[in-house]
Chain A
Amino acid sequence: MTLLDSKSLATALSGPTRRLPFDAGYLLLAIALLLYPMVASPFFTFQIGGYTLILGTIALSLMVLAGYGGMVSLSQMTVAGIAGYSIAIFGTNASGVMGLGWPWWVAVPFAILIGATASALIGMLAVRTAGIYMIMITLAIGTAFFYFVRQNYAFFNGFNGFHGVNAPTVFGIYWRDPVPFYYLSLAIATFFFVAVSYMARSTFGLSLQAIRDNPRRMRAIGFDVAAHRVFAFFLSGVIAATAGVLLVWFNGQITAGTVDVNAAIDVLVVAVVGGLRKPIGPYLGALLFALLQNFAIDLIDPERFNTVIGGVFLLIIFFSPDGLLGLWERIRTTTMSKSLRPALRRKPSK
């Protein structure tokens, strides 16, 4: 972690050469992602591709808080859910409750704003605690929201929630069709991926990382620690809320089950299994999660498939505490050092 931070610090401090992480690898990845729907079936485009990007973006919002801010929050799914419910309540739904019928270009920004504001409020409650206490308080908020929406019928339609929440048709394209939906998710995921990479090197991002490493020293030199943390919650709220809007379009509905405790913990599992150090980590975790969720049942007796899912996650964390990201980097350093070894050996003789 320190190695990465000093590297990013150095890049940021070198001023004019400050750059975004666009090397050949990312270019290849971008091309592969753009071409993916041409080779993949609609199922793979939508249910694996689209879902991975949405889940990865929600986990990215946790990565911002946990990786850069050192704050593990279990209420990211709640924030996504608040935005999703807002879309159903202010937009249109087929459940006959609420559904104020606002056009999407009003409802969507409004829903994201509500989600982000809710996240900032959660942040205000949570930032004065740390570690396990922050996990507890955010879990409590998430659980309370779940029980509230499940029992409130006037606004949230209780257990049944809202169905028939459709993505809009813009420019003659229905945005829930597999290919448009995939590209929409990809565009949003890419935007937040780049934004988070940029934020990490910005003054704010660096202050946030410094607060993570030593809040007392930062306070002593005059930084408002709480304000920085609350703003981090707000930014992560924007990310989670936008993904929440996509999630409700993906499912076509939102119910209390979308924001239950299991869903909240899934986000943490995705982020941790993927890796919390770089923005790409949550997306790796989300891809693995989506593949396992869909295909584990084909590998084993259908009554035992959850054991496979749990077992794979356990193995990854056991062999690489940094998750898939750590595993990938370990492989890279071994192959690199192998190819460098002859060169190094030759060096002294030169």
Chain B
Amino acid sequence: MLINRRNLLAAAVALTALSSAAHADDTIKMGGLATLEGAFTVLGEDGLRGMKLALQEVNYTVAGKKIEVQTGSSDASPESAVKAARKLVEQGGVQVLIGPLSGSEGIAVKDYAKTQPNVTFINGSSAAQDTTLFNPAPNFFRFSTDGVQWMAGLGDYVYNEKHYKKVAVVAEDYSFPYSQVEGFMLPFCKAGGHVPAKFWVPIGNKDFSSVISALPDDVDAIYVALGGADAINFLTQYQQSGGTAPLIGGSITVDQTVLGSKGAIRKAVIGTAAAGPTADAWDDPKWQAFTAEYKKAFPDGFPAPSLFAHAYYINTKAAILALQKVNGDLSDGGAKFREALANLTFDTPTGPVKLDHNRNAIADIFVTEVVEGPNGALMNKVIKIAKDVNQTLGEPEADFLKIGPATRDNPDCK
């Protein structure tokens, strides 16, 4: 019995010794963190497809060094994202971490990044504005834009072109939709529009009847920032209750599931304006080539890369380009690599991208509208492209910071 225990102890010691495995000099350890559990599983899988795509382009090699990828999974909660990041960094020894996927996760991982100054954190697709605008971490980079930027041009467009003056808001209740609503409202309110009522619903809400019955009658349109099943549920129930107001979408509202739907919703979503960092049906050759490459690599993926695949692709691509610039040399704790990242400018399938002083991307944003395509299928047609959108939407930074972090009640223009 004693021997048994001693064996057990020896095994435990051996197990812990594994943890301090030495770095090999000819490999670069990269971590990919995405939601592979919970409500956003499908989106997380597509995010990792984008990361793989960027790595496949260089055959997982930079300057003769092999890139070794480890995967971490979260369930969209900040705790799980930090736990997975900690495992990849402290146990797996990754030098570059790509991720996470969702808004509140990004804020938590950024806070964790501050405790690991020698590891470089590059965002996945998380798009809460706070992550880089308030208390940024010097080693956290975001080459994908944030949820406020994703709305650039939409508020002006619906006010001036569509002549919506009063808009009600229905959105999910967490940090990413807060950013989206802020990005929509700031230009919209500035142009003279009003938002008389905002409704915040929990993620995974099934019954929208109380929201629908409380919607004011005299609004010109409804701004809907819901994702996945929530968007479908709301749109269906709104149609069934006889609602006729036109819709305005957030960046993940009008996706392929909504466009592919049949019946009454189909008619109702035609004419829905939205904005985001990608546009499925954009006819630009670079975007078309990117879509073709994605489809070829992942026949079982989506019909077109989602904005999650796009964001992970861009961020991984940035890591690869900066690694090439420093010849894959991370021996100084990544200091040179981070400097290369900060000064990096490159062309993506959706146009040029560069970073601001908070290490947040400045890039192009697409305003789209749902139209019936030539073969009868619905598609997001590109209406206009907002060029070089920065994190403050072109406002002077001091003025913009005065608005404060986006919350349920901020901004406000009743």
Contact = CB atoms under 8 A, between A and B. Distances in A.
The main secondary structure of chain A at its interface with chain B is helix
A2 interface: no
A220 interface: no
Interface in B58-117: 70-73, 75, 77-80, 82-83, 86-87, 90-91, 104, 107-108, 111
Nearest to B9: A32
Interface stretch (B14-22, B149-157, B336-344, B371-379): B14-22
A302 B34 CA distance: 10
Nearest to A332: B1
Contact of B104 (A24, A42, A160, A336): A160
Nearest to B75: A257
A231 interface: no
Given A42-B90, A150-B202, A158-B173, A253 B19 contact: no
Contacts of A24: 2
Contact of B5 (A28, A257, A293): A28
A306 interface: yes
Contact of A303 (B36, B104, B203): B36
B101 to A, nearest CB: 13
B18 to A, nearest CB: 9
A39 B10 CA distance: 11
Contacts of B173: 158-159
A200 B70 CA distance: 46
A24 B6 CA distance: 12
B210 interface: no
B91 A294 contact: yes
Contacts of A52: none
A257 B87 contact: no
A110 interface: no
A47 B90 contact: yes
Given A47-B90, A305-B73, A160 B36 contact: no
A39 B13 contact: yes
B240 interface: no
Contact of A159 (B4, B17, B90, B174): B174
Residue among A24, A36, A158, A159 with max Cβ neighbours from chain B (10 Å): A159
B197 to A, nearest CB: 17
Interface string A247-266: 00001110101100000000
Contacts of B90: 41-43, 47
B-side binding surface: helix, strand, loop or mixed? helix
Contacts of B17: 39
Contacts of A28: 5, 9
Contacts of A151: 202
Contact of B19 (A44, A160, A257, A258): A44
A46 to B, nearest CB: 8
Contact of B79 (A253, A294, A332): A253
A163 interface: yes
A131 interface: no
Nearest to A287: B12
B4 A255 contact: no
B79 A255 contact: yes
B174 A294 contact: no
Contacts of B145: none
A203 interface: no
Contacts of A39: 13, 16-17
Contact of A335 (B1, B71, B107): B1
B104 A43 contact: no
A283 to B, nearest CB: 14
Contacts, number: 89
Could you say which of A164, A303, A305, A336 has the most chain B C-beta atoms within 10 Å of its C-beta? Answer: A303
Contacts of B174: 159-160
Contacts of B36: 302-303, 305
Given A40-B19, A41-B19, A335-B1, A163 B9 contact: no
B312 to A, nearest CB: 14
A159 B202 contact: yes
A251 B87 contact: no
B45 interface: yes
A163 B78 contact: yes
A9 interface: no
Contact of B37 (A43, A298, A306): A306
A153 interface: yes
A3 B2 CA distance: 24
Contacts of A257: 75, 77-80
Nearest to B107: A163
B295 interface: no
A257 B79 CA distance: 9
A32 B12 contact: yes
B15 to A, nearest CB: 8
A297 interface: yes
B5 A41 contact: no
Interface in A103-143: none
Interface string B151-173: 00000000000000000000001
A153 B9 CA distance: 48
A258 B91 contact: no
A324 B79 CA distance: 28
A335 B108 CA distance: 49
B175 interface: yes
B20 A294 contact: no
B9 to A, nearest CB: 5
A228 B45 CA distance: 51
A16 interface: no
A25 interface: yes
Contact of B408 (A153, A164, A253, A255): A153
A62 to B, nearest CB: 21
A14 B137 CA distance: 63
Contacts of A150: 202
B110 to A, nearest CB: 11
5 contacts: A32-B12, A43-B91, A163-B108, A252-B111, A298-B70
Interface of A: 24-25, 28-29, 32, 36, 39-44, 47, 150-151, 153, 158-160, 163-164, 251-253, 255, 257-258, 293-294, 297-298, 302-303, 305-306, 332, 335-336
10 A-B pairs with the lowest CB-CB distances in the bound complex, closest first: A43-B90, A257-B77, A302-B71, A41-B19, A40-B16, A43-B91, A251-B79, A159-B174, A39-B16, A44-B16
Interface of B: 1-2, 4-5, 9, 12-13, 16-17, 19-20, 36-37, 45, 48, 70-73, 75, 77-80, 82-83, 86-87, 90-91, 104, 107-108, 111, 173-175, 202-203, 408
